């Protein structure tokens, strides 16, 4: 709707109302591209939590599949599938960022990473089908090489399209929430598919989810080429200066970036090791059956999926990223304490954890473009992702060992809880641009 007023010299001037501005903004090319970018990591997030959804526990699981064929599959083996995904990325996600910034460029890098994810999903299905654990480990390593670097590429791609326009935090919130949709679909449907057909069929569906991501990657590459040609976005830095990126630039990254990375490591270590064993946790502590436990874990994913765009919109309008990060940290601390000492219904706890995660990511990831230069954007996201994976490689192994050694109740929440004071020390030092 347009408001009309008359200027001093008699000219009629049209002023856009709020609805007009919103309509014009939504018609911007970057929002349509964002809709496709959401699918870029859908497949990788769908298959990432296979160890959590169909790995162990009652019902149709990989553990039961191995047992039927006279093979052993322990909690530690299951958690190792998470760790081998993360271990290579303690280093290689940095090189993924370097590949994006200096050598391959965002387009070629995205194609490479989506292919690695797809091939890893295929090998994992073969490992499940033939109950071959070494092949499953190999598949997870290969998947990890592509999966985390693909997330780096997605972050760099979205930042590239939104840095010079409105709505960066909202855009990050939408992409991250849609990634959580992939994870929630896994917890919601994979156990049901395994129960109705087989565990092998559940793993096969993961391949098709990765094909969706591969197709979206082609569309994004074409969109990027078109946008540069018409001048909608700037050419990527590597197109302008091949020598602009150096590994030594890490030493010159601002202090605020390293504080953000510290927050990322400890907060993620407080979330994902628990999600990986959450199904078993709810089965043992609350007495839920397999389907109900998986459904409650998926509630966490849906809560974060719904919350991230809304909170991202708030961050765009309010700013104060530091306050959002402090709020998320306090929520994680409180939730882990409540998980240990109370019997609050699991559904309430997982929804609350999903909302807290939304607050975290809406304040964390959009802060990077404001503290680093565009020529090191991919590199910076790569460093943060590598540090994040260092934590996610270590703690699932420790948690898995505890679960094999002790009764799996509160022990699985203690380790992330111990990390939170360290995370709190890190955030107290933070100075952020917004």
51 vs 356: CA distance, rounded Å: 23
pLDDT at residue 342 in the model: 82
Report the predicted TM-score, pTM, of the whole model to 2 decimal places: 0.69
Asked which of 197-211, 214-228, 372-386 is least confident by mean pLDDT, the reply is 372-386
9 CB contacts (<8 Å, ≥6 apart)?
A: none
pLDDT beyond 70 at 209: yes
Please check whether residue 424 is in contact with residue 265, taking contact to mean a CB–CB distance below 8 angstroms: no
Q: How confident is the model at residue 136 (pLDDT cuts 50, 70, 90)?
A: very high
Highest-pLDDT range among 97-101, 206-210, 222-226, 379-383: 206-210
Our CA dihedral for 364, 189, 273, 278, rounded to 10 degrees, sits at 120
Among the listed ranges 93-107, 150-164, 379-393, which one has the minimum average pLDDT value? Answer: 93-107
pLDDT tens, residue by residue, 304-325: 878 877 887 787 777 677 788 8
What is the model's pLDDT at position 123?
95
Instruction: Say yes or no to pLDDT of 122 above 90.
Output: yes
How many Cβ atoms sit within 10 Å of the Cβ of residue 429? 12
pLDDT tier, 432 (very low <50, low <70, confident <90, very high otherwise): very low
- Is the predicted pLDDT of residue 163 greater than 60, yes or no? yes
Q: Each residue of 44-53: pLDDT tens digit?
A: 999 998 988 8
Contact assessment for residue 162 and residue 171, using Cβ atoms and an 8 Å cutoff: yes
CA-nearest of 59, 86, 125 to 295 is 59
Alpha helices, DSSP H only, in 241-376? 255-285, 290-318, 321-341, 346-364, 368-371
- What's the pLDDT score for residue 236? 62
- The pLDDT score that the predictor gives to residue 406 is 58
| Rounded alpha-carbon distances, angstroms, from residue 61 to 50, 68, 361, 406 | 10, 11, 31, 21
pLDDT digits (tens, 9 = 90+) for 250-304: 667 788 888 888 888 888 877 877 777 777 778 777 878 777 877 787 787 778 8
Of all residues in the chain, what percent carry a pLDDT higher than 70? 77
Given this model, what pLDDT does residue 118 score?
Answer: 95
Between CA 288 and CA 251 the distance in angstroms is: 50
Answer yes or no: are the C-beta atoms of 163 and 172 closer than 8 Å. no
Mean pLDDT of 115-135: 94
pLDDT, tens digit (0-9, with 9 covering 90-100), for 32-73: 899 999 999 999 999 998 988 888 877 788 888 898 898 988
Q: Which residues contact 424 (CB under 8 A, 6 or more apart)?
A: 329, 333
Which residue has better confidence, 248 or 356?
A: 356
* Domain ranges (residues) in the chain: 42-242+251-428
Give the model's confidence band at 167: pLDDT under 50 very low, under 70 low, under 90 confident, else very high.
Answer: confident
When comparing pLDDT for 36 and 99, which is higher?
A: 36
| Residue 121 contacts residue 200 (beta carbons within 8 Å) | no
pLDDT at residue 8 in the model? 46
Flag whether pLDDT at 222 surpasses 80. yes
Fold of 42-242+251-428: Growth Hormone; Chain: A; (1.20.1250)
Per-residue pLDDT at 132 exceeds 80? yes
């Amino acid at each position: 709707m347009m408001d009309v007023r008359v200027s001093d010299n008699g000219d009629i001037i049209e002023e856009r109302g709020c609805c007009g501005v919103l309509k014009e903004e939504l018609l911007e090319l970057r929002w349509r591209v964002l809709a496709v970018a959401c699918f870029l990591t859908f497949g990788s997030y769908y298959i990432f939590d296979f160890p959590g959804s169909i790995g162990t526990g009652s019902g149709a699981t990989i553990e039961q599949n191995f047992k039927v064929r006279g093979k052993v599959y322990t909690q530690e083996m299951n958690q190792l599938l998470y760790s081998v995904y993360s271990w290579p990325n303690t280093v290689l996600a940095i090189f993924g960022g370097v590949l994006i910034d200096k050598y391959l460029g965002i387009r070629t890098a995205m194609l490479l990473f989506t292919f690695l994810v797809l091939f890893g999903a295929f090998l994992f299905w073969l490992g499940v089908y033939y109950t071959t654990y070494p092949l499953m480990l190999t598949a997870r390593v290969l998947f990890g090489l592509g999966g985390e670097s693909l997330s780096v590429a997605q972050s760099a791609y979205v930042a590239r399209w939104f840095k010079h326009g409105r709505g960066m935090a909202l855009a990050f919130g939408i992409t991250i929430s849609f990634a959580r949709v992939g994870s929630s679909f896994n917890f919601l449907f994979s156990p049901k598919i395994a129960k109705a057909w087989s565990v092998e069929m559940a793993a096969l569906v993961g391949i098709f989810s990765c094909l969706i991501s591969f197709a979206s990657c082609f569309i994004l590459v074409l969109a990027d080429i078109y946008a540069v040609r018409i001048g909608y976005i700037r050419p990527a830095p590597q197109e302008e200066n091949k020598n602009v990126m150096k590994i030594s630039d890490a030493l010159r990254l601002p202090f605020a970036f390293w504080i953000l990375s510290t927050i990322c490591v400890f907060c993620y270590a407080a979330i994902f090791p628990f999600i990986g064993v959450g199904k078993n946790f709810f089965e043992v502590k609350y007495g839920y059956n397999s389907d109900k436990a998986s459904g409650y874990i998926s509630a966490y994913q849906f809560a974060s999926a719904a919350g991230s765009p809304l909170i991202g919109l708030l961050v765009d309008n309010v700013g104060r990223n530091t306050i959002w990060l402090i709020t998320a940290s306090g929520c994680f601390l409180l939730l882990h304490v409540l998980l240990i000492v109370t019997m609050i219904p699991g559904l309430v706890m997982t929804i609350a954890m999903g909302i807290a995660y939304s607050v975290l990511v809406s304040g964390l990831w959009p802060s990077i473009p404001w503290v680093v230069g565009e020529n090191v954007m991919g590199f910076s996201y790569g460093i943060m992702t590598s540090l994040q994976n260092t934590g996610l490689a270590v703690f699932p192994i420790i948690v898995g060992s505890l679960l094999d050694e002790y009764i799996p109740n509160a022990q699985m929440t203690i380790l992330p809880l111990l990390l939170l004071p360290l995370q709190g020390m890190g955030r107290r030092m933070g100075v952020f641009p917004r």
